[in-house]
Structure 1
Amino acid sequence: MSEMENVSVEAIPVGAKILDVREDYEWEAGHIADAVHIPLDQLPERLDDLDPDGDLAVICRTGGRSARATQWLEAHGYSAVNVTGGMGAWLEAGKPMVSDTGTEPTVV
């Protein structure tokens, strides 16, 4: 098995496909506008929601769940990289976020 690739939030290209594997309440509080949301525990049954030919940047709150998701996706033939530092790093970098709550987006 190959070594999993980690990327910083600054290294994610504009327009990259981002997969957010956090729980619903985390997603609602704040997320990346164009990201795909599939909680980690739903990934096996929702694999068909993802393009097997596209590259994915996988993100969670701090990088632990996304690391597991990245390894799992790669084992199933997908091209995926883990976003180091997760949404915490995204927020710190001042990257744009939206929320589903009508309040200022945040990372919980």
Structure 2
Amino acid sequence: MTVPEVDAHSVPADALLLDVREDDEWHAGHAPEAVHIPLGELQTRVTELPAGKTVYVVCRVGGRSAHAAAWLNAVGYEAINVGGGMQSWAFAGRPMVSETGQEPFVA
């Protein structure tokens, strides 16, 4: 199954961005408006995502988010993988915040 993919530069500023990384990765640095649902919890928490809105899915480098996007597409969402993940997001200079009070980084 082919999963639609865009690079970090192409994610719209008002996009619904789903971060499927683990808690420690999220705390280190994430996009300010992202929704955090770790991949292992996605099937039980998918109803937290609004229906009818494209979901851009991100992880650290793009592997976990590709699996999440494929699953979301299979269950009726429109999901797009963010290629290169948060590493590409940071490299592209897109905004990041941390939950630690420290400078955000991609863990």
TM-score, structure 2 normalization: 0.98
- Unaligned segments of structure 1, at least 5 residues: none
Aligned twin of 2:33? 34
Q: 1-side partners of 2:39 and 2:79: how far apart?
A: 14
RMSD over aligned CA atoms reads 0.8
Identical pairs, percent: 52
- Give structure 1 regions of 4+ aligned residues with deviation exceeding 3 angstroms: none
1:50 matched to 2:49? The reply is: yes
Letter paired with 2:76 = G
- Unaligned segments of structure 2, at least 5 residues: none
Aligned twin of 2:81? 82
Aligned twin of 2:63? 64
Aligned residues: 107
Aligned twin of 1:7? 6
Letter paired with 2:21 = R
TM-score, structure 1 normalization: 0.97
